Amino acid sequence: MLLRTEGVTVRLDRRAAVADVSLAVPAGCLMALIGPNGAGKTTLLRAVAGLAPHAGRITVAGHDLAALTPAARARLMAYLPQRRDVAWGLAARDVVALGRLPHLGAGRRESEEDRAAIAAAMAAADVAALADRPVDRLSGGERARVLLARALAQAAPLLLADEPTAALDPYHQLQVMEVLRAEAEAGRAVVAVLHDLALAARFAHRVALMADGRLAAAGSPEDVLTEDRLAAVYRVAALAGTRDGARWILPWRRL
């Protein structure tokens, strides 16, 4: 297992935002982390990224997270937060290059390997044409893909993405999900927090459903995204079906 969490609990203001979550994500798997607002998805992702103090055990590629130095952790996992702030007007290519920081030596000079990783990441996220554009002049969709390329360039076996499709139009939502799935199938483990059940059902290999900080269900999209469970956890009735061998879901009305 590339990522394993055992009994992870995160307390925020003495409330357990994440309670006793045990998950396993193998290499080659895109796992969608879903659940209603406030279910603890982002908090769990931050705990795995080493950004939230927690109880329980997290291992990445067999290494105990608590024993890793920040630099070693950065070579094992990349984290793509939901906020897409970039403080200065760097060129898109220079933003992507920041993903190579954990691999650079003291002189911070890019090697051939770094340049190849940056080019490959920009090609995968379809931003090669934006290389010289200042990132503060890009559209929301372009910026989201540049930041995705930044995370890909880190070339870590585990990729954590917090709502990577938020505020994107349907075309770019599909594009980002295709990139994440392709990265998983190329051998990474990808954990993506998603709000869109249709995207989770369509693209994820596995789905983990959280409710009130606990893991309500985990498994294949077919097994997890049942009518009863959506009614119980999300309080919605959904339309569902199968098309081209993949499941689709459309939340239809409140219950």
Partner 1 sequence: MRRAAPLLAILASAVLVAAAASLAVGYVPLPLADLVAGLFGGGPAAPLVQEIRLPRTLLALAVGASLGLAGAALQGLLRNPLAEPGVVGISASAGLGAVIALYFGLAAAWPPALPILGMVGAGVAGVLVLLLAGRAAGVLSLVLAGVAVSSFAVALTALALNLAPNPYALSEMLFWLLGSVRDRSFDDLGYAAPFMILGAALLLTAGRGLDALTLGEETAASLGVRVGALRAQVVAGTALAVGAAVSAAGSIGFVGLVVPHLLRPLCGHRPGRLLLPSALGGAILIAAADVLVRLVPTRTELHLGVVTALVGAPFFLALLASLGRR
108 binds partner 1 (CB under 8 A): yes
d(C-alpha 200, C-alpha 225), whole Å: 9
Closest CA to 99 of 42, 152, 46: 152
Please report which helix (H) or strand (E) contains residue 229, including its range: helix 227-234
- The first and second tokens of residue 170, run together, are 């349907």
154 binds partner 1 (CB under 8 A): yes
- What are the residues whose beta carbons fall under 8 Å from the beta carbon of 137, sequence distance 6 or more? 89
Kindly tell me which residue out of 37, 62, 88, 244 binds partner 1, with binding defined by CB under 8 A: 88
d(C-alpha 51, C-alpha 111), whole Å: 29
Kindly tell me which residue out of 41, 46, 172, 202 binds partner 1, with binding defined by CB under 8 A: 46
171 binds partner 1 (CB under 8 A): no
Q: Which stretch binds partner 1 (CB under 8 A): 9-17, 70-78, 112-120, 242-250?
A: 70-78
Q: Which is closer to partner 1, CB of 87 or CB of 255?
A: 87
Q: Which is closer to partner 1, CB of 110 or CB of 212?
A: 110
Q: Which stretch binds partner 1 (CB under 8 A): 66-74, 115-123, 174-182, 227-235?
A: 66-74
Kindly tell me which residue out of 4, 75, 133, 181 binds partner 1, with binding defined by CB under 8 A: 75
d(C-alpha 160, C-alpha 163), whole Å: 10
Q: What is the largest CA-CA distance in the chain?
A: 59
Strand partners, 247: 242
Kindly tell me which residue out of 35, 40, 81, 213 binds partner 1, with binding defined by CB under 8 A: 81
74 binds partner 1 (CB under 8 A): yes
- The first and second tokens of residue 175, run together, are 């594009």
Amino acid at 60: V
Q: Which is closer to partner 1, CB of 51 or CB of 237?
A: 51
Which parts of this chain interact with partner 1 (CB under 8 A)? 46, 49-51, 69-75, 77-81, 83, 85-91, 94-95, 98-99, 101-102, 104, 108-109, 134, 147, 150, 154
